[in-house]
Structure 1
């Protein structure tokens, strides 16, 4: 089992800290589809999400928070195309 995608998301901070910080957690996935499904869940929870590929996966990809919605839409477009091809 080789994980080639990751999703990093900010977690809600608890307590009072002396200086601001943004704690994050990262989860790894075998496929881009699994990573996208997880990222969608976190976005739906209102969390900031970053995703990308792990070394040595090529081509290297990093999806910043401002591009996550476009990355997720790509999955929907691919699914729609796949279902249209099956119906033809």
Structure 2
């Protein structure tokens, strides 16, 4: 599997941790369509979302939170995203 896209989103706060944890999580996806579906779900939860391509993917793309809605409007690349094809990173 080659993961080409990532989606970063603010993580929900859970409990009290003795050390500070990062407020963001990142998941990676094979296709832009899978990334869009996941980003839409996180946006629907009211979270701040960023997305982009992972180096060395070309062309390189970075979608800031202000451009996520515009990126999601392009429906031609959307398909059902299988959650089992994602890779999870916590920063």
Judge same fold: TM > 0.5, yes or no: yes
1:4/1:30 contact within 8 Å kept: yes
Q: TM-score, normalised by structure 1?
A: 0.76
Compare relative contact order (CA 8 Å, sep 6+) and give the higher one, 1 or 2. Answer: 2
Number of equivalences = 75
Task: Identify the range of structure 1 (37-46 vs 5-14) with the bigger mean alpha-carbon deviation.
Answer: 5-14
Q: TM-score, normalised by structure 2?
A: 0.74
Q: Unpaired segments of 5 or more residues in structure 2?
A: 78-91
Q: Hey, what does 1:37 align to over in structure 2?
A: 37
Cα-Cα RMSD? 2.0
Q: Counterpart of 1:2 in 2: which secondary structure? A: coil
Structure of higher CA gyration radius: 1
